[in-house]
């Protein structure tokens, strides 16, 4: 018993060490979305290309989609744009854009110059849908299943590595089950 | 002369600094405004972490303050407002997390620490008492009588 007590401080130190070590390397700025497992919030917002057409959450029905939140004011969105085009063209991924807190003219010029990887683009100049989605910084990308349920969120730039390690496995699983 | 320029600059800049943080919200009475201040002080900004939305100047914190204000105007209760934001941004935005199975340790650690410490102190005290007791066992009746005799003799010696 006495011997055991002598080792107690060592034991406590090891336990604390293991707990703290597990936290190393985690990025605390990447939060898990509160919407995982929940449907895309209801919305009614205009189409970026066509101001008279209104889009709503039924946009996400029928197939697995990526919802990409972007704006022309966001430098990291420029960074990932070519990778989004690569995903849409080479990988056949359906990407829906959420043009977030932006203005229409700038967004159209951007798409004209850089190409358009999006099947549809929701125009959200006041950021209302972004707010309901819990978007706290563009770019953010959500994986949404064929039933319109949010399955995954990636905060930050999309590139080949993120696609292979994070998004593709989720999408494959959803398509396998669906 | 440079001094006057400096002063003028300082005055100008301070105006800008003050204007940046001021949101203009209109509350009916003082109590509502206080309630609003308390709410935004205990909600955490998801973008500039470790700041509450009262202090943060991030656009998302501004949106969250707007939402708090809007919901208050609609007559929502404090819990309802906090739940609405947690539903969008996750538990992260709560500076005071709910007490449940996940946050149990977070809330209970100080109590466990204090009781653990008290327990350790109690054990140490009891043990040292017991040891002291073993070294100085109580006197038997015979020994007590002897002590009384010795003391009595000493007293006699002192008086004579």
Count Cβ atoms within 10 A of the Cβ of residue A159 and give its class: 0-12 exposed, 13-18 middle, 19 or more buried.
middle
Mean pLDDT of A75-104: 94
Please give the residue range of the domain that contains residue B46: 2-93
First to last CA, chain A: 58
- pTM to 2 decimal places: 0.74
First to last CA, chain B: 100
Kindly state the DSSP code that residue A124 receives in the 8-state scheme.
E
Same domain flag for B83 and B119: no
> Would the ipTM clear 0.90, i.e. be above it?
no
pLDDT tens string for chain B (160 positions)? 566 666 666 655 565 544 445 567 888 788 889 999 999 999 999 888 889 999 988 889 999 999 999 999 998 889 999 999 999 998 889 988 888 888 888 889 999 999 999 999 999 999 988 887 777 667 788 888 898 999 988 888 766 5
Same domain flag for B6 and B83: yes
Question: B49 and A127: CB-CB below 8 Å?
Answer: no
B45 contacts B51 by C-beta, under 8 angstroms: yes
Q: What domains sit in chain A, N to C, each tagged with a CATH number?
A: 27-177 (3.40.30.10)
> Which of B49, B63, B67 lies nearest to residue A29, judging by beta carbons?
B49
Taking CA atoms, what residue in B is nearest to A129?
B88
Same domain flag for B43 and B23: yes
Confidence of residue A3 (pLDDT cuts 50, 70, 90): confident
Question: B89 and A132: CB-CB below 8 Å?
Answer: no
Looking at B41, B69, B93, the residue that finishes a domain is: B93
Same domain flag for B145 and B79: no
Nearest CA distance, A89 vs chain B (angstrom): 32
Residues of chain A neighbouring B92 (CB-CB closer than 8 A): 31
* Phi–psi pair at A95, nearest 5 degrees: -115, 130
B positions 82-101 inside 8 Å of A (CB): 86-92
Mean pLDDT of A144-159: 93
The string of pLDDT tens digits covering residues B123-155 is: 999 998 888 777 766 778 888 889 899 998 888
Q: Is residue B44 part of a domain?
A: yes
Same domain flag for B86 and B145: no
* Phi–psi pair at B105, nearest 5 degrees: -65, -40
Kindly state the DSSP code that residue B101 receives in the 8-state scheme.
T
If one compares A104 and B1, the residue with the highest pLDDT of the two is: A104
Confidence of residue A178 (pLDDT cuts 50, 70, 90): very low
Which residue do the tokens 């449940």 mark?
B100
Looking at residue B15, its pLDDT comes to: 53
Looking at B93, B120, B141, the residue that finishes a domain is: B93
Question: A136 and B91: CB-CB below 8 Å?
Answer: no
Taking CA atoms, what residue in B is nearest to A137?
B47
Residues near B9 by beta carbon (within 8 Å), at least 6 away in sequence:
none
Which residue do the tokens 């939060």 mark?
A31
Looking at B61, B93, B125, the residue that finishes a domain is: B93
Same domain flag for B77 and B109: no
A117 contacts A84 by C-beta, under 8 angstroms: yes
Q: Is residue B15 part of a domain?
A: yes
Size of interface A-B (CB pairs under 8 A): 34
Q: Is residue B116 part of a domain?
A: yes
Looking at residue B18, its pLDDT comes to: 47
Looking at residue B19, its pLDDT comes to: 46
Handedness of CA B52, B54, B58, B61 (dihedral sign): positive
Residues of chain B neighbouring A32 (CB-CB closer than 8 A): 90
Task: Please report the DSSP string for A74-121 in residue order.
Answer: -HHHHHHHHHHHHHHHHS---EEEEEES--HHHHHHHHHHH----SEE
Mean pLDDT of A43-51: 94
Q: In what order do the strands lie in the sheet with A150-155?
A: A120-124, A95-100, A65-70, A140-144, A150-155
Count Cβ atoms within 10 A of the Cβ of residue A86 and give its class: 0-12 exposed, 13-18 middle, 19 or more buried.
middle
A22 contacts A109 by C-beta, under 8 angstroms: no
> Which of B47, B67, B91 lies nearest to residue A137, judging by beta carbons?
B47
Q: What is the CATH number of the domain that holds B77?
A: 1.10.8.640
Rounding to the nearest 10 degrees, give the CA dihedral for residues B22, B23, B27, B30.
Answer: -30
Same domain flag for B75 and B141: no
Q: Is residue B37 part of a domain?
A: yes
- Rounded alpha-carbon distances, angstroms, from residue B61 to A2, A35, A136, A149, B47: 55, 19, 9, 26, 8
Q: Is residue B99 part of a domain?
A: no
Confidence of residue A24 (pLDDT cuts 50, 70, 90): confident
The string of pLDDT tens digits covering residues A161-176 is: 999 999 999 999 998 7
Residues of chain A neighbouring B63 (CB-CB closer than 8 A): 127, 131
The string of pLDDT tens digits covering residues A152-162 is: 999 999 999 99
Q: Is residue B98 part of a domain?
A: no
Same domain flag for B122 and B80: no
A158 contacts A76 by C-beta, under 8 angstroms: no
> Which of A28, A101, A134 lies nearest to residue B89, judging by beta carbons?
A134
Same domain flag for B49 and B118: no
Same domain flag for B9 and B77: yes
Nearest CA distance, A10 vs chain B (angstrom): 17
- Contact of B66 with chain A, judged by CB distance below 8 Å, is answered with no
> Which of B49, B59, B88 lies nearest to residue A134, judging by beta carbons?
B88
- Contact of B49 with chain A, judged by CB distance below 8 Å, is answered with yes
Residues of chain A neighbouring B91 (CB-CB closer than 8 A): 34
Looking at residue A167, its pLDDT comes to: 92
Same domain flag for B141 and B86: no
Looking at residue A28, its pLDDT comes to: 77
- Contact of A138 with chain B, judged by CB distance below 8 Å, is answered with no
- Contact of A28 with chain B, judged by CB distance below 8 Å, is answered with yes
How many domains is chain B partitioned into structurally?
2
Same domain flag for B76 and B109: no
């Amino acid at each position: 018993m006495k011997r055991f007590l002598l080792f107690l401080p060592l034991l406590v130190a090891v336990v604390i060490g293991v707990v703290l070590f597990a936290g190393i390397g985690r990025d605390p700025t990447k939060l898990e979305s509160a919407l995982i497992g929940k449907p895309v919030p209801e919305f009614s917002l205009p189409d970026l290309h066509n101001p008279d057409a209104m889009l709503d959450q039924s946009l996400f029905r029928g197939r697995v989609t990526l919802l990409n939140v972007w704006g022309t004011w966001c430098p990291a969105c420029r960074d990932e744009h070519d990778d989004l085009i690569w995903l849409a063209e080479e990988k056949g991924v359906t990407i829906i854009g959420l043009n977030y807190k932006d203005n229409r003219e700038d967004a159209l010029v951007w798409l004209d110059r850089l190409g358009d990887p999006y099947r549809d683009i929701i125009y959200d100049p006041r950021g209302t849908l972004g707010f309901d989605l819990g978007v706290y910084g563009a770019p953010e990308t959500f994986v949404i299943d064929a039933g319109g349920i949010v399955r995954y969120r990636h905060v930050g730039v999309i590139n080949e590595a993120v696609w292979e390690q994070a998004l593709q496995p989720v999408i494959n699983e959803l398509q396998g089950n669906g | 002369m440079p001094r006057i320029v400096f002063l003028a600059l300082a005055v100008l800049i301070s105006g800008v600094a003050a204007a940046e943080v001021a949101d203009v919200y209109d509350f009916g009475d003082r109590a509502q405004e206080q309630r609003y201040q308390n709410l935004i002080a205990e909600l955490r900004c998801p973008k500039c972490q470790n700041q509450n939305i009262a202090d943060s100047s991030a656009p998302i914190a501004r949106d969250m303050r707007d939402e708090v204000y809007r919901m208050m105007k609609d007559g929502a209760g404090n819990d309802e407002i906090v739940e609405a934001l947690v539903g969008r941004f996750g538990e992260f935005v709560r500076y005071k997390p709910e007490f449940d199975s996940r946050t149990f340790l977070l809330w209970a650690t100080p109590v466990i620490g204090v009781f653990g410490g008290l327990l350790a102190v109690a054990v140490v005290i009891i043990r040292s008492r017991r040891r002291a007791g073993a070294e100085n066992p109580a006197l038997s009746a015979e020994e007590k009588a002897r002590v009384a005799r010795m003391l009595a003799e000493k007293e006699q010696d002192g008086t004579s």
